[in-house]
Amino acid sequence: MSDDDAWAALADAFVEGAYATVKGQVRTYVLHQHLLRHLPAPPASVLDVGGGAAHQSLPLARLGYDVTVLDPSEAMLAKARQRVATESEAVRDRVRFIQAEGEKADGETFDVVLCHGVLMYLDQPEPMLDALCRSLAPGGLLSIMALNARTLAVRPAIEQRWDEALAAFDAATETGVFGTSTRADTVDHLSQLMRDREVDPVAWYGVWLFTDWRDPDPDDLEVVAAVELQASLRDPYRGLSRVFHLLGHRR
């Protein structure tokens, strides 16, 4: 494992921790349901940029999509390989792994490009968006999940951290749950950046509303996921969500 793998220390926390919680499972479920509304039929090719342990793209491989998981972290890709190794041979054959920074993805194009929970860790979204759009075949689907800049005050206010909540109304960054700095975006701004790169937005949804404020009982996972899915689709709930899911087609 490389000494400069910035995510190595967080790999277990993400995979065995965050993604295993009700909140983590809700994220995967809600995003998957959104994708099913827009994906081309399998075996379309999917590039999962910053795909980590393949939580979002492995379910697509099970449906027959040809998946490429690209991530700069050797530790995160090791987690992905472990998960994929438990699948059937047919699914394993549909998944490949590339260790690289997403901004350097270039050359090959895909029918679908996913970039979920990545932009928030970058100083600026433009270099990554350049690479994402370059990697998208004509007519292809781009799927981005980003931190919602318009709801940064909600969590500190719910937790009665009033000074932080007041400052958050005009903030563009916050400290994430793992102590890392995260940067927020808006649907309008990312939509314009996509248009500038020949990708036309077609839909946006919310992700994480109620589960971002409370830690639900795991026994309630099914109904919690159903509630969160409905909230993700409707106004005003989707606009109040912790993060948002934006999709567009390349011209």
CA–CA separation, 228 and 61 (whole Å): 24
The pLDDT assigned to 55 comes to: 93
CATH of the domain at 196: 3.40.50.150
Residue 115 maps to a domain: yes
Residue 147 maps to a domain: yes
* Phi, psi dihedrals of residue 61, rounded to the nearest 5°: -60, -35
Angle in degrees, 0-180, between the axes of helices 126-134 and 187-196, rounded to the nearest 10: 50
Residue 177 maps to a domain: yes
Please count the structural domains in the chain.
Answer: 1
The pLDDT assigned to 214 comes to: 80
The pLDDT assigned to 7 comes to: 56
The pLDDT assigned to 172 comes to: 94
Between the CA of residue 218 and those of 30, 135, 199, 224, what are the distances in Å?
16, 38, 38, 9
- Measure CA of the first residue to CA of the last residue in the chain; give whole Å: 40
Q: Provide the whole-model pTM.
A: 0.92
The pLDDT assigned to 1 comes to: 45
Question: Domain range spanning residue 112?
Answer: 8-250
Residue 2 maps to a domain: no
Residue 21 maps to a domain: yes
The pLDDT assigned to 15 comes to: 61
The pLDDT assigned to 4 comes to: 66
Residue 184 maps to a domain: yes
Residue 3 maps to a domain: no
* pLDDT, one tens digit for every residue, the chain (251 residues): 445 666 565 655 556 656 788 999 999 999 999 999 999 999 999 999 999 999 999 999 999 999 999 999 999 999 999 999 999 999 999 999 999 999 887 779 999 999 999 999 999 999 999 999 999 999 999 999 999 999 999 999 999 999 999 999 999 999 876 677 899 999 999 999 999 999 999 999 999 999 988 888 999 999 999 999 999 999 999 999 999 999 999 99
The pLDDT assigned to 6 comes to: 64
The pLDDT assigned to 176 comes to: 73
